[in-house]
Amino acid sequence: MHRNGRLLHPAAWWLWALGLAYAAMRTNNAILLLAIVCVAGVVVSTRRGPAPWANAYSLLLKLGALTVVVTMLLQLLLGVRTPGHVLVHLPSAPLPHWAGGISIGGDVSAEAMLNAFVSGLRLAVLIACFGAANALAHPARLVRIMPAALYEVGVAIVVAMTIVPQLAESVVRVRAAQRLRGRRVTGLSGLRGILVPVLELALERAIALAASMDSRGYGRRAEQPPAVRRFAGGGVLLGLGAAVVGTYQLISGGGQRLGVGLLAGGTLVALAAGFVAGRRTRRTRYRPDQWRAAEWLVLGCGVLVALSYALAVHDPLAAGVALEWPPLRPLPFVATLVAALPAVATPEPPGLAPRGHAAVRSVQIAALEESVRA
Amino acid sequence: MIDFTNVSITYSGASSPVLRGVTLHVPEGELCLVIGATGSGKSSLLGAVNGLVPHFTGGRLSGSVTVAGRNTRDHPPRELADVVGVVGQNPSASFLADTVEDELAYTMESLGLAADVMRRRVEDTLDLLGLVALRDRAVATLSGGEAQRVAIGAVLTAHPQILVLDEPTSALDPAAAEDVLAALQRLVHDLGMTVLLAEHRLERVVQHADSVVWLPGDGTAVRGTPAQIMAHSPITPPIVSLGRELAWTPLPLTVRDARIPGRRLREVLPPEPPTDPPRIPGAILAETRALTVRYGGVLALRRAGFVAREGEIVAVMGRNGAGKSSLLAALTGLLKPAEGQVRIAGRDPRELRGRELTSHVGLVPQQPGDLLYAETVHAECAAADRDARAPRGTAGGLLHRIAGALDLDLHPRDLSEGQRLALALAVVLTSAPPLVLLDEPTRGLDYPAKERLVHTLVGLAGAGHAVVLATHDVELAAEVSTRTVVLAGGEIVADGPSRQVVTQSPVFAPQIAKVLAPLPYLTVRDVRRALAAVPG
């Protein structure tokens, strides 16, 4: 039997990626960092969906590599000169005192370069984790699980995401048309000739979209007094805002009690408002993402990584790394490898089914070609 | 099912109503075709069915429109979404979700249907329209025909009793159009759905219709059986024109009907239609040698060798995505060949810039509006004159010759499709390029506009221009082209005199050729001229 796989719940993947990202933030051990990025890569390559945005990982991986290079270049040209094994001596220019120890050129030590590499790598791994989350579960699918009160926001996001590629396409079309009329396609006058038709096209499209939404039942809803509606919408935003501030307080190590209070209270307010607003919308959800054993597994892996790094890794991030081969730490390393488990232990994503229709068409074409050639 | 009672529609700012006192009844389970010239009110009539006119478009509607017992006065479009499904002219502009499956479910989600019902209906619709293989595809990656069927599916899942479609096949190649029409036919026959359909390409749809509503253009509407309307309408597909000209009764609407009275005609006609004296092929104006073009990783053209000579009209045909537009784009230097060469008057078009390019080659793109960006028709013509360093009034004169008198103060976007095409063509012709390319020129054109286009193109070829048109319109190709090139999968699979190429292929054969096969007659004009030459 052909097993038509399923896509996992987007929240599971995003939490898993968050776990990896947290781990990357805790360490400056190059082996662990590379292990994290490899694990993310393995899981993405086996469990990403068929959609075009599934290339996000490789795209952001390249961006990450660029980050490493840029960080090291910056360190080479201007940076804090840590003493150590001098690699090269660059001609230097003194900077005034207020520059805070930063200098242009001077002695570049191997330690400084290694530190730059590791901090660049850490940033690159963070970016890669974000890319992995995007590739495994597009943000649009996250939008789908938002509370009903934020439904309108979700629609706006989805529509915006479809408009961007179309806008790019109209720019190409209009540029081509300008060339066909023998006009300049560069410079200020060229810009106007491109901007006006592109905006007109976008406007036409927006009107067509609005008509389509209207005739397809968007905005059918149960009656609710406007005051309640406003309370619900405002409440959700306010609550979420408070929760975000609370989380920040907790992470930054500010007022712990204040942080917990804001987080809990904000979440409660958002949930209550979401419930009230949800009663207004009569919308239902087609094939809502399900939370089953595989999702628990993915979440468990993410939590395991985060926990083992929280307990076992106490890298002095500010002090930098010594010029030596980084030590292999068994517990976090094994935990990181375990996080690759979803690559094999979760259901496969639905692949691109063989395109039956296209196959039929190609037979038709073949017949046609034959008859034409005959 | 659909009842119009004394309906008049006047848009704000318009001096006269688009529809005037229309009373119309479309019973349940009927496929009703709406025909009429551009501007006769087809879109307004369709829009009024689900209340988009006037709730969304504005304007004034008097009288009453009742669909499935609901008056559109009290029910805005969203409250009619469960009984009327609307598919617009450009389906990909109406997509609201990012994958095919979610798109199919959208309307049902708005209606608040239960999850298990939605699941079942999506599966049913995927099967009904042959979309199973596309279920996980992103809607942005669909081809024209696929997008059209997904758009139909997306409104079908709500189980509407009425389906309204505005030109569902105008952008499709003949095979894809057949797919869509077959799907509609099934909905009407198997599910008893009422379908209201506007279409310019009558040769594709009239045989599927149960009734026809004809909008003569004065705001009234005439409803009748296809045979009744076709007997009097000035807009007819070629088979009907032939039947009317030869006074065949009953009037044939399909190729099969026409072949019976056609038997006698085949006996009378000479084996070859009288043709114009063969023109001496002129100089080569454009040429590609072993041209390969890659477009976003896809091979759009594969070692294509193509030639266009003075005085020729070449029709480039093939399915959606066969490489027609790529060939035209390469001839204007818009695409970089991966391999091979393109030569326009001996030069690479990619090296030509500005006036040098426009005086060698002109292209009217699929959306002629892309070429236009002035605020009025008059300003557009003036700009064209300036760009081409042509004497003032050149573009205006060309426009007048192509489209007749036009209101020069209109915004180009307010013109009808045909008028906009005429304006774009006039702009292109102002710099008198020997090579004129047109991409899908008859999309959205009514028959009179098409006739004017045919006249213009024949005139251009007579004056020594080479005309190349990429088109799905087999009737247009039969009417004007001297040579036909068929592309499939980026390769040129046929290249020869039109009469030979199109009569050999059932997909690209015009209606008259099918009726009179095996005789190589393509158009009503061919038959008329042959009969005039036959004594007695």
Instruction: State the pLDDT confidence band at A2, using cuts at 50, 70 and 90.
Output: very low
State yes or no: pLDDT of A305 exceeds 80.
yes
Closest chain A residue to the Cα of B54, Cα to Cα: A211
Q: Is the pLDDT of residue A51 over 60?
A: yes
CA distance B78 to B84: 10
For chain A, say whether B363 makes contact (Cβ under 8 Å): yes
Question: How far is A93 from chain B, CA to nearest CA, in Å?
Answer: 48
List beta partners, residue B382: none
Option in A50, A159, A369 nearest B488 (CB): A369
Pick from A177-186, A309-318, B344-353 the range whose average pLDDT is largest.
B344-353
Q: Is B94 in contact with A208 (Cβ distance < 8 A)?
A: yes
Give A335→chain B minimum CA distance, Å: 34
Judged by CB atoms closer than 8 Å, whether chains meet at B365 and A353 is answered as no
Pairing of strands B211-215, B222-224: antiparallel
CA of B93 vs chain A CAs: smallest distance (Å): 6
With a cut of 50, which residues of chain B have pLDDT below it? none
Q: Which pLDDT score is estimated for A86?
A: 81
Nearest Cα residue to B474 out of B318, B271, B310, B347 = B318
Name which of A152, A372, A373 to mutate to probe chain B: the one with the most chain B Cβ atoms within 10 A of its Cβ: A372
Q: How far is B25 from chain A (nearest CA, A)?
A: 22
Q: Which of B265, B437, B27, B28 is nearest to A176 (CA)?
A: B437
Mark yes or no for CB contact A177/B362 under 8 Å.
no
Note whether B248 contacts A: Cβ–Cβ < 8 A. no
Count CB atoms within 10 A of the CB of residue A144. Answer: 18
Mean pLDDT check: name the lowest of A118-122, A343-347, B229-233, B404-408: B404-408
ipTM over the 0.90 cut-off: no
Is B235 in the A-facing interface, judged by CB distances under 8 Å? no
Identify the DSSP state of A181: T
Task: Tabulate helix, strand, coil % of chain B (nearest 5).
Answer: 40, 20, 35
What is the pLDDT at residue A357?
40
The pTM for the full model equals 0.76
Nearest Cβ partner for A211 among B56, B114, B428: B56
Model pLDDT, residue A288: 79
Q: Which one, of A346, A338, A339, A350, lies nearest residue A129 by Cα?
A: A339
Q: Is the CB of residue A35 less than 8 Å from the CB of residue A305?
A: no
Q: Range with the lowest mean pLDDT among A139-148, A157-166, A349-358, B42-51?
A: A349-358
Beta bridge partners of B197: B33, B165
Which residue on chain A is closest to B133 by alpha carbon? A355
Kindly indicate the confidence band of residue A356, based on its pLDDT and cuts at 50, 70 and 90: very low
Q: Is a pLDDT exceeding 60 seen at residue A363?
A: no
Q: Judge: A284–B358 Cβ closer than 8 Å, yes or no.
A: no
Cβ within 8 Å, pair B133-A358: yes
Question: A30-47 vs A10-26: helix axis angle to the nearest 10?
Answer: 170
Say if residues B439 and B317 touch (Cβ distance below 8 Å).
no
Q: What's the pLDDT at A253?
A: 65
Quote the pLDDT of residue A19: 94
For residues A81 and B88, the model is more confident at B88
Give the pLDDT score at A148. Answer: 62
Set of chain A residues whose Cβ sits within 8 Å of the Cβ of B102: 286
Please indicate if any CB of chain A lies within 8 Å of the CB of B21.
no
Identify the residue whose tokens are 């008893």: B192
The rounded Cα B143 to chain-centroid distance in angstroms is 16
How high is the pLDDT of residue B104?
93
Measuring CA to CA, which residue among B52, B59, B127 is closest to residue B87? B52
The per-residue pLDDT for B332 is 92
Q: What is the pLDDT of residues B26-40, one digit of tens each?
A: 999 999 999 988 878
Tokens standing for residue A320 = 């930098």
What is the model's pLDDT at position A52? 61
Condensed to tens digits (0 to 9), the pLDDT of residues B157-206 reads 998 999 999 988 887 888 888 888 988 998 899 889 999 999 988 989 99
Cβ-based contacts of A217 with chain B (< 8 Å)? 78, 81-82, 107, 110-111, 158
pLDDT band at residue A171 under the 50/70/90 scheme: confident
Q: Hey, are the CB atoms on B98 and A138 less than 8 Å from each other?
A: yes
Cβ contact, residue pair B93, A212, below 8 Å: yes
Strand partners, B70: B67
The percentage of residues in chain A with a pLDDT greater than 70, rounded to a whole number, is 79
pLDDT band at A341 (very low <50, low <70, confident <90, very high): very high
Q: Which of B79, B109, B501 sits opposite A372 (nearest CB)?
A: B501
For residue B139, list chain A residues with Cβ-Cβ distance below 8 A. Answer: 162
Q: Identify which has the larger pLDDT, A164 or B308.
A: B308
pLDDT of A126 over the 50 cut: yes
From A68's Cα to the closest Cα of chain B, the distance in A is 30
B88–A212: do the CB atoms touch at under 8 Å? yes
Smallest Cα distance from B231 to chain A, Å:
35
CB contact under 8 A, A52 and B105: no
Phi-psi label, residue B89: left if phi above 0, alpha if psi -120 to 50, beta otherwise: alpha
Distance from CA of A72 to the nearest CA of B (A): 34
